[in-house]
A and B are shown apart, each in its own frame.
Chain A
Amino acid sequence: MFRLFSGVSQFWISFGFAGTAFLFVATSAVERGNAQEVSQESAASSETTEDHSIQPLDFSHHHHVTEIGLDCQVCHVYARRSPVAGIPSVQRCAGCHEQVLSDTPEVQKLLEFWENEVPIPWVRVHDLPDHVRFSHKRHVLGDVSCSECHGDVGQMTSAVQVESLSMGWCLNCHQERQASRDCLICHY
């Protein structure tokens, strides 16, 4: 910075300049951070706006859960057996869809994956940082219903994240249910 002013005022003006720059960038970063919590930047303005373009197939939970009546664990089969709930295998989808609605365009796309033995590259909607060890099994067996964390999935035509999944949010529930809040249960 050029020495434009004298002495003390030089300092304060420089500090103010740097500080403003910092605050500007920092707040926009925070905003961006907030935007991350809803997985799409384009959906920053609304919590429940669904973006059908992000997934390789336009799978509707609303149709399968509410209209057909499938329970979560029919497809997410590992939820009560494993830390991971699992995404249904292509075989599971094809199991029905080789017969059901097999001539509609989205199902045709699905069957192409099945015939070519290619796994469907779903885009992850709920993701926790790598330093968090979350166990679906413990929560499912602990009578935490899927919608408590995943929202009313049955109404979604395209899956979105509706809860913050931040550590504070997790801890609130742990406190209410008197589950352990020891650091080591999730971070080891």
Chain B
Amino acid sequence: MTENLTSSDGLTETVGRRTFLKLVGGAAPAAAVAACSPVSPEQIIPYVIPPEDVIPGVATWYASVCGECPAGCGTLIRTREGRAVKVEGNPEHPINRGSLCIRGQASLQGLYNPDRFTGPQQRRTTNQATNHSVLEPVEWDEAEQEFVNRIQAIRESGLAKQIAIVTPLTTGSLATLVKTWAEGVGARHLTYEPFAYEAIRAANRITFDRNAVPHHDFATPRLVMSFGADFQETWLSTVGHTRDHSEGRQVQNGQKARFVQLEPRMSLTGANADEWVEIRPGSEGLLAAAMVRTIVSEQRVQVKMIDGDTVSLLGQFFDDYSPEGVSDRTGVSAGRIRELARAFSDPNVGPGQSLAVGSGIATMGDRATASQVAINLLNYVAGNVGATVVFGPDMNWGEAGTYGEMVELTRAMRNGEIQLLVLHDVNPAHSMPGEIEFATALEAVPFVVSTSSFPDETSILADLVLPTHTPLERWGDSVPIAGLHGLMQPAMRPVFNTRHFGDILLDSARALGRDVSADLPRRGEFLDFLKDRWEELQEAIHSREPEGDDDPQEDFDDFWANAQRRGGFFAVVERGAVSLNPTLLRNNLELDPASSDRTFELIVYPSLHYYDGRGANRPWLQEIPDPLMKTTWASWVEASSQTARSMNAQEGQLIRLTTDHGTVDASLLINNQLRDGVVAMPIGQGHTDYGRYAAGRGVNPMVLLSGDPELDSGGRRWMVGVDATPLEVTRRIPQLQKHFDQEDREIAQAVSLVALAGGEAIPEAKHFSLSPEHDHPIHHWGMSIDLDSCNGCNACVAACYAENNVPTVGHDRMRQGRTMSWLRIERFVETHDGRVDNRFLPMLCQHCDHAPCETVCPVFATYHTDEGLNAQIYNRCVGTRYCANNCPYRVRRFNWFQEEFPEPMHLQLNPDVTTRVAGVMEKCTFCVQRITDGKGTAKDENRSVRDDDITPACAQTCPAQAIVFGDMNDPESRVSQLATDARAYHVLGELNTRPAVTYLKKVTQSEV
């Protein structure tokens, strides 16, 4: 650049560019240095009175229960200086045994969500003419007084029955309290879970005369057949199921338990099956029936104590459903149906060695109950009932209300039959089918009270908001399976001005008078109520005289302290024998799915991340890519290439979907693991009011569904006929992986069971190296990842985000591919003879012994430590990004921007991990803070580091236990044993990077 300057004689002169730069070059550093001023001294603030359980700088852990879904997994919450910073599974809890799913990890983002209600709110009309009103902050006293006054007035008019309280599925003490409160007030109580699995209960009533959801054992069976039940994603208790199933699928004696999934759209669960059978939507019952018929007719009935008459009645019951007969209606060949039926009831293996599950949300339509009855009978004839399908330790879903009840309530609301409605932590305005028009019905209720923690489509319509604590801030208990009492403890003081829902109920009941609160204690808070219930529990268990350790004989204070420490009290409940309901076989089962006039069939499937929509306001759940489609911050409609062609549509094009009940527009995504003629949409997005991360994002498929409940169960129908018209708009969905082809690079490898058993798996050849080897005198940290166990569920990714302060970058930057995740799950799809083989590969920094990134850093910010870690020193990094360029695994992330953590999300940050600034490189550190901590603990205890002392966040949470970490210098450690496993290999090993991460090949049942 040149500047024109006037010299003393008035002529313009130019200063040459080079001279100018030389001057600027000298002055600029001078100016920069001059601008630096000494840092003003910091203050150091002591406690006034130090809290007992807090040592600043050291974490305190509390055992509790996760509240993100009704599964009730036990948690351990890590707190620092009174702030919850990490949630992990509780190893002592029988359901999840230390693992935790992606939603459990993201519960912190519910606790610290910046859009939560900060305190009670009351509606005030601002403009009488336009009827415009707003929610305004109000004090608790005033708010609760208003609540009590309103109820009082209604009771005095004799209309107590027109008060209704709706809660999610609640168990334990809070459930008792809600029930007692409702009875005292005279109100009706409903539980509302969008995923209530009504069909399972109804089918069990019909089949076994038991209104219950049994416990399912996924560990024992040699064959698991799932008719569209996504038991690794949202179906019932997914962490427990995944954990069991992963154990059951270990290769033993050259054998591997078989897993077959039958569904129209390959779910993540189905993606991990040995065989995915593509079926017509709604035909699950037909298939199960044909299988029962095969088993009976081929005399393979395994169940003991069954008389000949019943067997022949069963045969007759399903006589119309021969494999040939159902083949066209299901899309599965007769031969296949027979083969599966035979494998399911193999006399060589004996009874109770298989398991059939069904009633996945996406499968439930008009025939949901009947289909589940057929599946029940399939389990029955194979001798599974009482073995892998166990009544006795029943699941809490048996107590959930039905969708039909909620429809009835909505009708009553619309007709002015409800005077006051209390909605606790439910969002029917978003999750009920559009044609029910719940929001409109809500307007007909004169007074609506919300006790939700979050503003959402439902709570913002309330007249009074009494916000309550999130699960991390409150006392409570959870009984997800009969006998399993989990104790929920607050891990910290409430972040906002909220109250415990139980306290609101107790106080309001007392204020309403003795006739309402007669059955409730006169004094005390919910915590006291909880402790009383636990004292009763202790007595009840003790009086049953269980054996030894199961008998809680101690003083209540000790019992309570033990329960707090352990996370609950876990008693074993006796299995109950069930028998076939004698009336069952007298009625016909209608199994054929109803057809529609529309062109395609739409299935609406539950989301691993958002569940029923409740997870949409957590940025980790939005940002971490969908496990199958690798999309982020989006919703879409899926169709196969064939279906797309028949619609005349291209991927990315906006499609107008019309059903008999509503219309939405969604962008098209091609999914070839979806039956032709079927389109699919994920549930969970399309919020209009649920905070900054969820609002205005995607579409809500509930608009398209029928409002009519299924007759037999009162459940919702999740399938519907649809017409699809492409529009002239293209809106591509952000996808982190746009294709799943490894292109022969053998990144995610597999070996067939036969090859493995035959000892044919060849361990990798050692490579020669010119550079000197690194010395690892004391520890050599390494990791092993089992591709056979990994199911791609993303729990590890969320755990890493939580542990390591990894920022989320939002929709726009994700579209540009600027993800910051240190750990990603890559999905690769191989096809053999039309069979799809999905491989999920967790990819993280490999901590290579010959790291390509270390040699190219000009400032030595990344180097190899003597413990085998590839270190990244943030304060030394100057941001040349050459290291990221050189990394063949593409695991390094550069902070192009300074990402913010909006308050109070910053409270979640882990103080043991540096939060990086713009301009530095970051990547997986093998959780070096945990390594340092583990070594410190061993040093304190004057011993050497043990194998289970150090567990990185990813390994800690994995429900499938796929990741193992340890010291490769210790020959006894698990990671050392696995490194020499026949299946062991290194990704891109041929590059001679010598990674510290060993992968174990996936084992396929058939040829690779």
Task: Name A residues whose Cβ lies closer than 8 Å to a Cβ of B.
Answer: 1-3, 10-11, 14-15, 17-19, 21-22, 24-26, 29, 32-33, 35-36, 39, 41, 54, 78, 81-84, 86-91, 113-114, 117-124, 127, 129-131, 135, 137-138, 141, 182-185, 187-188
Contact = CB atoms under 8 A, between A and B. Distances in A.
A150 B879 CA distance: 36
B47 interface: yes
Nearest to A187: B873
18 contacts: A2-B8, A11-B19, A15-B26, A18-B27, A21-B30, A22-B33, A25-B34, A32-B36, A83-B57, A89-B49, A90-B46, A90-B47, A90-B48, A121-B43, A124-B42, A184-B928, A188-B914, A188-B928
Interface stretch (B607-615, B768-776, B863-871): B863-871
B25 interface: yes
A122 B56 contact: no
B758 interface: no
A87 B44 contact: yes
A188 to B, nearest CB: 5
Interface size class of B (residues with CB under 8 A): 35 or more
Contact of A122 (B34, B43, B876, B939): B43
Given A2-B5, A21-B26, A35-B38, A188 B929 contact: yes
B496 interface: no
Contacts of A24: 30
A135 B932 CA distance: 11
Contacts of A123: 41-44
Contacts of A90: 46-49
A84 B57 contact: yes
B940 to A, nearest CB: 7
Contact of A29 (B13, B25, B36): B36
A137 B932 CA distance: 13
Given A26-B30, A89-B49, A184-B873, A3 B38 contact: no
B874 interface: yes
B55 A78 contact: yes
B50 interface: yes
Given A22-B26, A82-B58, A188-B928, A87 B48 contact: no
A81 B873 contact: no
A84 B45 CA distance: 12
B19, B37, B874, B929: most-surrounded residue (chain A CB, <10 A)? B19
A18 B22 contact: yes
B45 A86 contact: no
Interface string B918-951: 0000000100110010001001100000000000
Contacts of B874: 131, 187
B7 interface: yes
Interface in B850-891: 863, 865-866, 869, 871, 873-876
Contact of A183 (B13, B58, B873): B873
A18 B26 contact: yes
A2 B30 contact: no
B729 interface: no
Given A188-B914, A188-B925, A182 B5 contact: no
Nearest to B56: A84
A184 B869 contact: yes
B829 interface: no
Contacts of A82: 55-58
Given A3-B15, A18-B22, A117 B48 contact: yes
A184 to B, nearest CB: 4
A86 B875 CA distance: 26
A119 B871 contact: no
A91 B49 contact: yes
A182 B776 CA distance: 13
B7 A2 contact: yes
A61 B126 CA distance: 62
7 A-B pairs with least C-beta separation: A18-B26, A82-B57, A131-B875, A22-B30, A87-B46, A89-B47, A84-B57
B195 to A, nearest CB: 42
A19 to B, nearest CB: 6
A39 to B, nearest CB: 6
Given A18-B22, A54-B41, A183 B871 contact: yes
Contacts of A86: 46, 56
Nearest to A141: B940
Nearest to A185: B932
Nearest to A23: B30
Contacts of B10: none
A156 B56 CA distance: 26
A108 B456 CA distance: 52
A31 to B, nearest CB: 11
Contacts of A26: 29-30, 33
B41 A39 contact: yes
Contacts of A17: 23, 26
A131 B914 contact: yes
B129 interface: no
Given A11-B19, A84-B57, A91 B43 contact: no
B30 A184 contact: no
A114 B47 CA distance: 11
Contact of B42 (A36, A127, A182): A127
A115 B925 CA distance: 47
Interface string B46-71: 11111000011110000000000000
Nearest to A131: B875
B826 to A, nearest CB: 27
Given A89-B46, A119-B45, A81 B15 contact: no
A98 to B, nearest CB: 14
Contacts of B871: 182-184, 188
Contacts of A130: 914
Contact of B875 (A127, A185, A187): A187
Contact of B30 (A25, A120, A187): A25
Contacts of A18: 22-23, 25-27, 30
A6 to B, nearest CB: 12
B1 interface: no
A121 B928 CA distance: 33
A122 B44 contact: yes
Nearest to A11: B19
B39 interface: yes
A11 B22 contact: yes
Nearest to A121: B43
B42 A91 contact: no
Contacts of A127: 41-42
A182 B865 contact: yes
Contacts of A88: 46
A89 B8 CA distance: 70
Contacts of B39: 36
B45 A41 contact: no
Contact of A32 (B8, B38, B43, B48): B38
A121 B45 CA distance: 5
Given A89-B49, A89-B50, A10 B19 contact: yes
Contacts of A3: 7, 13, 15
A22 B45 contact: no
Contacts of B936: 135, 137-138
Contacts of B48: 89-91, 113-114, 117-119
Nearest to A183: B873
B44 A81 contact: no
Contacts of A33: 38
B19 A122 contact: no
Contacts of B866: 182
Given A87-B44, A118-B48, A182-B865, A22 B38 contact: no
B8, B33, B42: most-surrounded residue (chain A CB, <10 A)? B33
Nearest to A84: B57
Given A11-B19, A87-B44, A19 B49 contact: no
A124 B13 CA distance: 55
A165 to B, nearest CB: 14
B43 A2 contact: no
Nearest to A113: B48
Contacts of A187: 873-876
